[in-house]
Chains A and B, each alone.
Chain A
Amino acid sequence: MPLRHSRIHDIHVASRRRALQALAAGACFFIARPATATPDELTAALRETFGERPITRGKVKLTMPRLAENGSVVPVTVSVDSPMTELQYVKSIHLFAEKNHLPRILEAQLGPYNGKAVVSSRVRVATSQQITAVAVLSDDTLWSAAVDIEVVTSDCGL
């Protein structure tokens, strides 16, 4: 089969409510400032999802086209350098688009049953921007990667 859609591994989009509950229940750590400056929306979305827990660059590989032909169906693959055993595994993978109207664009719940820590899908990317992936590991550490993406527009609309 052509490289059209890769398999999607048990993706569940977490409800906003669950994240808010987590936040309400939650811990108050500090948020690690990523290597490049991030717009407020991204910071807010990260905080809403992870509270003030530290996020470290590394372990995560985020693959997206540098140039997207159509921003409404952009292929994305996130892989995490982690075993997937009962002792050590990736619990979830999250994607954030800082300039999307709703920045939290994907959340995947994983476990040892997945065999490997890879998620592929297609996502909407509103405009040229930075996309951030965050992985939550079984030891509750948070790891991230970010890529810049440019969205080509070809319409005759206005």
Chain B
Amino acid sequence: MKQQTFQAGRRDFLVKTAAVSGGLVLGVDLSGVVLAADGSTKPEVTHWVVIQPDDTVVIRIARSELGQGSFTGLAQLVAEELECDWSKVRSEYADVNEHIRRNRIFGSMSTGGSRSIRESQEYLRKAGASAREMLVAAAAQEWGVPAAECKAAKSVISHASGKSTTYGKMAAAASKREVPKEPKLKDPKDWKLIGTSPARFDIADKTTGKQIYAADVRLPNMVHASIVQCPVFGGKLKSYDDSAIKDAIGVKRVVAGDDWVAVVANNWWRANQALRELRVEWDVGESGNVTSESIMTFLRTGLDATDVPVARKDGDAQAALGTAAKLIEAEYHAPYLNHATMEPQTATAIVTDDKVEVWVGTQNGEATIAAASEAAGMPLENVIVHKMHAGGGFGRRGPHQEYTKQAVWIAQKMPGTPVCLQWSREEDMRQGRYRPVALVKLRAALDADGNWNAWHVRQADQSIFITVRPSDIKDGIDPVNVRCFQDNPYAVPNFTDEYAMRNPHVPPGFWRAVAHTHNPFFRECFIDELVHAAGKDPVEFRRPLLKGKKDLGVLEAVVKAAAWDKPAPKGVHRGIAVVDSYGSFSAAVVEIAVADGTVVEVKRVVVALDSGYVVHPDAVIAQMQSGVIWGLSSAMHEEITIKDGRVEQSNFSDYRVLRMSETPKIETILVPTGGFWGGVGEPPIGAVIPALGNAIFAATGKRVRSLPFKNHGFSYKA
């Protein structure tokens, strides 16, 4: 019953807001307050900052809130310099249409690569500082005193003479002033708000179920669509027979595209049931026989190929390997993974003769408006995008907006009627943009004293960039896929990284942490193999090789927190790993107990991060915890396999993710050393996976060289 109450409330809310605004053009902020698009939020001091007469400060957010805390953290950056009363601050999405009208004034809207804070911190802090200077200058002018004699704090401007006024009163005058180009920014030591953890703007509504996601959008006369796409990637729709659903209750129509067919009905359940009754024939194209095994064979040609591009070469690894006192060789492999967002891909669209309106949970508002514009064949100015909060993103909802296009194509067939397209869970599992497969061959030489003298890396993997940013592939090298090796921080005198791109037909995507999911597993577990071959301690082995690098700082932090230099409690085994990614440095110690040689109980994960600065420590800790869970989940459970050219998995029953009962105690250590801005959303993931692999070796003597660990007989203790 409770669920129904929520549903009714949501529908009621949207209908009301539609009535209030006299249409559907409106912004909805996180607290549910309606902001009409006609400018009632003015005056705008800068395009990022709107201050209302009652001192309410509205800070615009161009990046998407995916649960990582952007709505709060990005606002903190502005408010720190603005010197406003934080209790009167709220965030709203920068309107995508206004962004286009104003020549992309809000910069990048892309929310990926752990970039939201680090890429926008400078211009947002400057926006806050500029607005403050404008407010102060406006007050100084009114009082006839020099601006330098005025102070601003907590949204109040004051002068030694006793005069004082508020931001709300000065906002209109300030907005008429020119925006200072180079406002003075605070020294980080003077920050008062950055580095604190005020209550996040998104959590209350998410906790109470009030949050509206794309899947919650309800509009008058709305119809619902369920879709099936050619299960073999690259195949086409040949024909469909809808005779079985001609008289099905509630079914409105069938819409087909090049490689998909959708059923529209008066509710989603009926649409999806009817879709299952539809008899569809596909032309599966040339990939109908592809299997995980044939993909592996294809990758292996990359290991065997001669004359492949070299991503980095120091010294002469080949020669040094020939004179090794000890030669260690290994192959590591990682499978496809799906984002499996909690909310399947969903978009709602209304198309009329001269307008398209879409409601989408997106990681990039610009990509969404571009996709909708292209699908509708209408100029950007005729497209209205309502950015909804996404029920999980992880890289799925950024550059792959095909669900937005599909919603528009279906809505085109029903002009004026709102169409909500929601992929079924099964469709979402089988039509992902998957973390690509990778295979590496690693060879290393130790000298007589156990020193790491040479390292030869041959990578064979699938490129994502080739599908979305082909211009950034230089000399056949995918710059993302070689990370962890090309930028190897270990001081190995003879080092070669060779790269062989091998692209199967399965569509690849940016899965949270991208290449920093499997490459750290390959690198750090292989190093553990060297450690044991050299008869050394994993930390002792790494320390001299990381000397003078930030990687060492986080390594020492987990060593201390986990008391690595003391023996682990009886029955507990440890693994350690360190990796830098997205501008940050992270290290992890995983402590496990293993029952019956196969049942792994993760007792504790200690994880450290140096992101340079920390804006909202509580949000960062939450990201660290979710990163650990994300890593452990993929390490043990997750795997997408291919048979007959299609994905075999269908739902969470056969694509297991980590469960609450499997979630360990997680201790996070933040060691920001300042002077740089690193990312947070992805960096914790890389270190956790190899640290678990190394702990499993310590406990069982079994070296696992391919993911997930379940394929090697291991499971988590529930």
Contact = CB atoms under 8 A, between A and B. Distances in A.
Contacts of A72: 466-470
B114 A156 contact: yes
Nearest to A65: B374
B471 A127 contact: yes
Contact of B367 (A69, A75, A124): A69
B398 A155 contact: yes
Interface stretch (B86-94, B214-222, B375-383, B694-702): B375-383
Contact of B110 (A5, A100, A152): A152
B409 interface: yes
A118 to B, nearest CB: 15
Contact of B375 (A2, A5, A67): A2
Contacts of A75: 374
B100 interface: yes
B100 A152 contact: no
Contacts of B465: 155, 157
A69 B512 CA distance: 20
Contacts of A70: 367, 399, 467-468
Most B Cβ at <10 Å: residue of A101, A150, A154:
A154
A4 interface: yes
Judged by DSSP, the binding face of A is loop
Nearest to A5: B258
Nearest to B471: A126
Contacts of B76: none
Judged by DSSP, the binding face of B is loop
Given A69-B370, A71-B471, A150-B104, A157 B258 contact: no
Interface string B209-236: 0000000000000000000000000000
Given A127-B471, A157-B465, A66 B399 contact: no
B248 to A, nearest CB: 23
B346 interface: no
Given A3-B375, A69-B367, A100-B471, A156 B257 contact: no
B468 A155 contact: yes
B395 interface: yes
Contacts of B368: 69
A36 interface: no
Contacts of B514: 156-157
Interface residues of B, number: 50
B380 A67 contact: yes
B364 interface: yes
A1 B258 contact: yes
B486 to A, nearest CB: 11
A31 interface: no
A156 B582 CA distance: 9
Interface string B456-474: 0000000011111111000
Contacts of B682: 156
B480 A157 contact: yes
Most B Cβ at <10 Å: residue of A2, A68, A152, A156:
A156
B345 interface: no
B622 interface: no
A124 B375 CA distance: 18
B379 A66 contact: yes
Contacts of A25: none
Contacts of A152: 110, 364, 366-367, 370, 399
A158 B364 contact: no
Interface string A62-88: 000111111110010000000000000
A69 B399 contact: yes
Contact of B399 (A1, A65, A155): A155
B258 A154 contact: no
A6 to B, nearest CB: 10
A15 interface: no
B510 interface: yes
Nearest to B397: A154
Interface in A90-143: 100-101, 124, 126-127
A65 B470 contact: no
Contacts of A5: 258
Most B Cβ at <10 Å: residue of A2, A75, A101:
A2
Contacts of B112: 154-156
Contacts of B367: 69-70, 152, 154
B375 A156 contact: no
A152 B368 CA distance: 10
B444 interface: no
A157 B398 contact: no
Interface in B185-229: none
B113 interface: yes
Most B Cβ at <10 Å: residue of A5, A69, A100, A126:
A69
B363 interface: yes
B494 interface: no
A136 to B, nearest CB: 28
B483 interface: yes
B373 A71 contact: no
Given A150-B104, A153-B110, A154-B367, A67 B258 contact: no
A101 B110 contact: no
A2 B406 CA distance: 9
A154 B399 contact: yes
A56 B682 CA distance: 51
Contacts of A153: 108, 110, 399, 468-469
**For the complex of A and B, 8 pairs with smallest distance between CB atoms:** A126-B471, A154-B398, A156-B112, A2-B409, A154-B399, A69-B370, A156-B510, A157-B480
Given A155-B468, A156-B115, 13 more contacts: A2-B409, A65-B370, A66-B379, A66-B380, A69-B374, A126-B471, A127-B471, A150-B104, A152-B110, A154-B367, A155-B110, A157-B514, A158-B480
7 contacts: A2-B409, A4-B257, A70-B367, A71-B468, A153-B399, A154-B110, A158-B582
Interface of A: 1-5, 65-72, 75, 100-101, 124, 126-127, 150, 152-158
